[in-house]
Amino acid sequence: MPGSAERGRPARVVVLVSGSGTNLQALLDAQGTVLESGGRPQGFEVVAVGADRDGIAGLERARRSGVPTFVCRVGEHPSRGEWDRTLTEAVAAHQPDLVVSAGFMKIVGKEFLARFGGRFINTHPALLPSFPGANAVRDALAYGVRVTGCTVHFVDDGVDTGPIIAQGVVEVREEDRADQGAALHERIKEVERVLLVDVVGRLARHGYRIEGRKVMIP
C-alpha cells in the first residue's frame, strides 16, 4: 500500500465494531491531530463504521463524530456466506485503504479476505503467537507468564495467525490473579489503543509491503 504522500490524500479507514468502541474512539480522536515530530498529520481518516448489531456504543461514537455507519447482522442472512458477501460489499462501498477490526466479534469469511486480505487489521490481547483465541488474558495468567501484552496484526484465514505488525508489552502483577485478569486486561487495552493508533498512522503515512510473515514499513 502506498503512503499518504503517494496517494495525495489520507488513507481511508473503515472500522468494524461489536461493542463499546474504545479502540474506535482512539482512532477518531487521533485522525485530526498533528504528530509532534515535524508537524505532519496522522495521515488517515475514518470514513465509515460497521457493526454486526444495533444499539451499541461503538455506533453511537461514530454518529457523534459524523461518521457514516452500517449494520450487517448475521441472523438476517440465509447463510454465513451470504452475510460475508453483504459485509464485504458494505465495506467496499466506502473504498477503504485499510479495514480495522476494533473489537469486531465475528470471523469474516473467504470473500471478505479475498477483497481485503493484506489490508485488514486486528488487535489481540496477548503477545502472539502465544495465547491466540478468545481467552488470551485468562490463558496467559493460567500459564504463569510474567509479561504479556497486545499484538496488532493483519488478518488471514487462521485464528490470530496473520503477519504481526507491532506488539506492546504489559507486566503481569501478582494481584492480577486475584481478579482473574480483569485489571490486567484493562492495562492491556490502554496499551492497545495507543499501539493501534500508531500502527494505523504509520501504515497510512509511509505505506507498507508484506513479505511472507514480515510487514515492512519504510
**Catalytic residue of the set 94, 124, 185, 206:** 124
**Helices marked H in 65-148:** 80-92, 110-116, 136-143
Q: What is the dihedral of CA 209, 84, 47, 162, to 10 degrees?
A: -30
> What SS3 state is found at 112?
helix
Structural Rg of the chain based on CA atoms: 17
Q: Provide the β-strand partners of residue 214.
A: 164, 211
H or E segment and range at residue 154: strand 147-154
Establish whether 124 is a catalytic residue.
yes
Chain Cα centroid distance, residue 36: 24
Q: List, by residue number, the catalytic residues.
A: 124
